[in-house]
């Protein structure tokens, strides 16, 4: 489901995503109608505009997250340093997409969300931290917890931050999905965060994604 106040954006996303055989756009809607539409259509993934005139995107996010069997929600934004992105990620969003994302990447990002992965541009997430100094200071303190992780947990965390699901991570480093799930649970506990996307933010803040790129060139998805 695509939620945006601009009809042109809604129709554009529908056109692009409907071209994929494995993606069904069940609805496009404005923010005011988003929760009722989601309750009726029960989408797996919601792409939600973070800035809308009729209702605040963060408010809609909270209401969607409160639904029984809530959908995975990723925020849509025009600005890579949007001041609300960090709040949305900490409030349960599974990532964020820039509205100028290349059409050929959009369907794959939705697949990543549906598979339980996170979607977060390293460049954009750096911009979020750098443009909000208070958050950066807090983030530095949190990122220090990364030092509590074992080498294997750090490896798993990098792949989580790259958007891979547990099954994809297991295939990459030759572990069962169940073992990866156990590692992810341990990572969330040690980092004292409640979601994969919050862990991914700390990985970015701690520089693990840059390290991962140097160790495994071309491995980022």
Q: Is the pLDDT of residue 25 over 60?
A: yes
Measured distance between the N- and C-terminal CA atoms of the chain, rounded to whole angstroms? 23
* Residue 114 to residue 45: CA distance in whole angstroms: 6
What band does 37 get if pLDDT is binned at 50, 70 and 90? very high
* pTM for the structure as a whole: 0.74
Q: Is the pLDDT of residue 200 over 90?
A: no
Mean of pLDDT values over 43-67: 93
Non-local CB neighbours of 33 within 8 Å, separated by 6+ positions:
none
pLDDT digits (tens, 9 = 90+) for 122-176: 555 555 555 544 444 455 566 678 888 999 999 999 998 888 889 899 999 999 9
């Amino acid at each position: 489901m695509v939620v945006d106040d601009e009809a042109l954006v809604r129709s554009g996303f529908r056109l692009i995503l409907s071209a994929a055989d494995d993606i069904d756009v069940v609805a496009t809607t404005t923010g005011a109608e988003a929760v009722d539409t989601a309750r009726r259509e029960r989408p797996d993934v919601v792409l939600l505009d973070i800035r809308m005139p009729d209702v605040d995107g963060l408010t809609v996010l909270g209401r969607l997250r409160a639904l029984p069997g809530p959908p995975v929600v990723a925020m849509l934004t025009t600005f890579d340093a949007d001041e609300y992105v960090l709040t949305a990620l900490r409030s349960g969003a599974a990532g964020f997409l820039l509205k100028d994302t290349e059409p050929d990447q959009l369907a794959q990002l939705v697949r990543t969300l549906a598979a339980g992965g996170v979607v977060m541009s390293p460049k954009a997430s750096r911009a979020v931290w750098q443009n909000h100094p208070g958050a950066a200071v807090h983030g530095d303190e949190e990122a220090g917890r990364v030092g509590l992780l074992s080498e294997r947990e750090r490896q798993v965390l990098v792949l989580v931050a790259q958007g891979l699901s547990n099954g994809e991570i297991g295939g990459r480093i030759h572990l069962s999905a169940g073992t990866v799930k156990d590692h992810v649970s341990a990572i969330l506990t040690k980092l004292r965060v409640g979601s994969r996307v919050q862990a991914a933010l700390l990985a970015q803040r701690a520089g693990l994604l840059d390290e991962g790129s140097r160790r495994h060139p071309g491995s980022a998805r």
